[in-house]
Structure 1
């Protein structure tokens, strides 16, 4: 039902009973077994993973210390704007505050359909990269390959499927403690670099800002001209974007945690700030310990190493002359890879679950077990982990690079759509005569300007991130960089042609009904009472 502006009476926000699975069988429902501490660290842990611990090595060699920090700070700002926009929409929709519902309500169903499959596939295709990185990380110790790579792939694929399929509470508990380990690792690395760079290391070597002066704060990328410094910064935005992806995970937890309407904004705000802080501060400290032209770093990057050898965190410890810590940090990276693999199954399984409400995916994907876990969907997405077996054959490296480009680009598209959906929600309230400032829910700051900024930047990065394919022209790299854009538009246009619905929902007809959560009723703080303040 839609809310429309009327001349005879003030606009009203329709209060409807919340049932995010109304079109699915009644036994196929999620259960609210995640605790606030679970979702808090799940969201934080999603962006503190292999993308930062290893991917920052390539970023440092491409852009230099200052160029790398600028890229990560800029992408961190874009991430914060995106999460804040998402937090307000989730607070408004309550237990129905998930990505698919947001796209279907505020944009149109074709966008929601394309978002469903783009978002799910981006995480499913990341899973094999995380599993293969586990193989390489274990190889840091098992240099003689006593444990075959194919055995590692099968073992860890089975473990992450088991964690996800038993109970969402089990998944939350595992992620809680794993993220705690990652936080200890990051804090430890920051403190170690601070002490070591000041001379508190076995070599008694003080570096300070030495590597910012020589070889310099920036690296010229592709050209020795001044524009090369800018190109380096712009190229690293892709690395930074991949590192931040996953911080929006809580946008799919609405059906599995109680008091989501009040919980989501608090968690998202804290996560956004902590993500930016941990990323920028940790990379700043590492840049004091590792030069952009460090031979260990360049050799690892040029060889395509996906293990701890490319991590600037590991190299920083080695440069300080500490013998034991590299193995400890490599173990921390291994834990981060395992955590990321867990999330790569959780997110697409819930994306398909919510998409089934609108008929975007097969019904069997939403069938749940007695603990409320969509187990067929978990098994389906977990099977993507077996693609890691392809990495055992070196000839598959190019295929794998294509998958990684597709994943990162899909992430930019999905984030841009979140901000675009917010703008339609924002201006839809205005069009229907509703005062956003009178709503007793969280309101994200600096709107609509922050959403406009984030949306513009994400679209710009998505369009230009493959610029290296033009210098010089490389057809293969061009398709590797832009295949995800092509797939997204094929999904979007294909659904419009299938349904013959070519019009975006007019702002005056956007569904601004406000679901009433069970927790609101139990607390005697119904949405009706909250929204009545608008018309007092």
Structure 2
């Protein structure tokens, strides 16, 4: 007797009795928009300015190891997300993934943790804009409060008009950022070989003196490891935003086919740009560079602290530092743009499960949830805190806060994938038979990424214990505390303390109508070419 093999239940996504919140969104984003939004969100101030502190703390090799390790973790996370998005099709967003593969309490905690992560990144990006303008305007002829209000208004307007307009702005701004990165890499390559006004050849000079690593907190060998571990926070902040496409399912056509392709290319390019650009900069700037250390100790936090700007200054080029600082300013604007898009859609999708107020899903005629955009845009006004504190202190505090949220959310993405993976096994469904993208090295890559992210999230605040510092402790772990408050609070409210059993996970395969239309169009094109 032949045992009957389990099959995947195919469900027409349009036949659900539950009204979809996606009905208010419009598919006005193009593939090139999605590609550049995801890429641009991860090439921002965290890399261009935050890497200065990373170089001083860990040294050139220590910095590169940290960024490479976090890059691998990022790739594993994005690949796991790509397969789940491909499986769910037009329903493939973070909230649906958490609710379907884990439970509602995790989805609720993820909704608010992820949204707050990016909402709180917004004021850090706007405060960095104040810092970057201060590179030219040291006398503060343009007050910080005016800068905050002007850029917050501009960013809200870009997001509230039309998602297509937002995508178009991100496309061209990210194009400028890519030119900046490619130009910086080529400049450092030429300059380090002596092609600069000073005719100075550096090569690997700074790797030998002061050395490839910097001891952090202690002169013992463990100090070099502590430096690399501390820099993982900087690296994590620099990579966050590369998972943006996980919220675009309701605003781009053919999401099931598009998501894996874009995510794979973005993951590889993000890792390449981060590591390669920092490698080239480490040849031009030493970890004990006087300009770098003085900018960090003074709390400048602007282009003066960026190793990219210092590399140009060390080469003796007079005009380029201002150009590079301008490029970093554009990068900050682009990143701030994304900080409104992500939480506004997170709240939008969370409303389907009752996690957020219903007024957040109201859309204008262009399909933009304008109340949600305004709500998240208001967080930009927190940048006014820089008027009473040094901007660098605020920036670093917010960077630690949002990076911890990011680590938690990334760990949950990998955990959700493991639940999806073993759910298929428990229900007897052959993963290889599903006609979608399969992420590589599973389940080991998801296990590795999840373990590393949890480990970093728990230990990243170790400096608060050496010696004990209450303020630094809460700055490092308030995000973790808030997540557990959200998670446990929802469980207590609903009195549901169990995860969805693996054999009860809804693994029905949503068949999107647009996928059928896409296949039919492709078939017609092939017929014209070959018949």
Work out whether 1:374 is the aligned partner of 2:369. yes
SS in 1 for 2:24: coil
Tell me how large the CA RMSD over aligned residues is.
Answer: 1.8
Contact 1:401 1:480 in 2 (8 A): no
**Partner in structure 2 of residue 480 of structure 1:** 475
Q: Which moved more, 1:279-288 or 1:435-444?
A: 435-444
Distance in 1 between residues matched to 2:198 and 2:105, nearest whole Å? 60
Work out whether 1:393 is the aligned partner of 2:388. yes
Deviation at 1:403?
A: 3.4
SS in 2 for 1:407: helix
Would the alpha carbon gap of residues 466 and 321 (structure 1) be closer, same or farther in structure 2, given more than 3 Å must change? same
Would the alpha carbon gap of residues 26 and 479 (structure 1) be closer, same or farther in structure 2, given more than 3 Å must change? closer
Equivalenced residue count is: 520
**Partner in structure 2 of residue 261 of structure 1:** 256
Matches within 5 A, 1:506-525: 506-523=501-518
Contact 2:198 2:316 in 1 (8 A): yes
Distance in 1 between residues matched to 2:403 and 2:444, nearest whole Å? 25
**Partner in structure 1 of residue 302 of structure 2:** 307
Contact 1:49 1:243 in 2 (8 A): yes
**Partner in structure 1 of residue 193 of structure 2:** 198
Would the alpha carbon gap of residues 224 and 32 (structure 1) be closer, same or farther in structure 2, given more than 3 Å must change? same
Would the alpha carbon gap of residues 22 and 155 (structure 1) be closer, same or farther in structure 2, given more than 3 Å must change? farther
Contact 2:48 2:308 in 1 (8 A): yes
With normalisation by structure 1, the TM-score equals 0.94
Q: Deviations over 1:376-406 (max 9, x none)?
A: 0000000011111111112797666543322
**Partner in structure 2 of residue 249 of structure 1:** 244
**Partner in structure 2 of residue 177 of structure 1:** 172
Pick aligned residue for 1:235 from 226, 230, 236: 230
Q: Unpaired runs of 5+ in structure 1? A: 1-6, 527-536
Q: Which moved more, 1:24-33 or 1:355-364?
A: 24-33
Pick aligned residue for 1:420 from 415, 418, 438: 415
Work out whether 1:96 is the aligned partner of 2:112. no
Distance in 1 between residues matched to 2:17 and 2:194, nearest whole Å? 63
Matches within 5 A, 1:73-92: 73-92=68-87
Deviation at 1:133?
A: 1.0
**Partner in structure 2 of residue 11 of structure 1:** 6
Contact 1:53 1:313 in 2 (8 A): yes
Would the alpha carbon gap of residues 20 and 330 (structure 1) be closer, same or farther in structure 2, given more than 3 Å must change? farther
Deviation at 1:477?
A: 1.3
**Partner in structure 1 of residue 524 of structure 2:** none
Q: Deviations over 1:137-192 (max 9, x none)?
A: 11211223222211111111010000000000000000000000000000000000
Q: Deviations over 1:393-435 (max 9, x none)?
A: 1279766654332211000000000000000000000000000
Distance in 2 between residues matched to 1:472 and 1:484, nearest whole Å? 21
Distance in 2 between residues matched to 1:329 and 1:396, nearest whole Å? 20
Q: Unpaired runs of 5+ in structure 2? A: 522-531
Would the alpha carbon gap of residues 395 and 275 (structure 1) be closer, same or farther in structure 2, given more than 3 Å must change? closer
Would the alpha carbon gap of residues 498 and 180 (structure 1) be closer, same or farther in structure 2, given more than 3 Å must change? same
Pick aligned residue for 1:334 from 326, 329, 332: 329
Q: Deviations over 1:186-241 (max 9, x none)?
A: 00000000000000000000000000000000000000000000000100001000
Work out whether 1:320 is the aligned partner of 2:322. no
Pick aligned residue for 2:46 from 45, 48, 51: 51
SS in 2 for 1:126: helix
**Partner in structure 2 of residue 364 of structure 1:** 359
Work out whether 1:129 is the aligned partner of 2:124. yes
**Partner in structure 2 of residue 501 of structure 1:** 496
Would the alpha carbon gap of residues 390 and 235 (structure 1) be closer, same or farther in structure 2, given more than 3 Å must change? same
Q: Deviations over 1:442-491 (max 9, x none)?
A: 00000000000000000000000001111112222111111111100010
Q: Which moved more, 1:99-108 or 1:398-407?
A: 398-407
With normalisation by structure 2, the TM-score equals 0.95
Q: Deviations over 1:243-289 (max 9, x none)?
A: 00000000000110001100000110011000000000000000000
Distance in 1 between residues matched to 2:513 and 2:109, nearest whole Å? 31
Work out whether 1:454 is the aligned partner of 2:454. no
SS in 2 for 1:515: strand
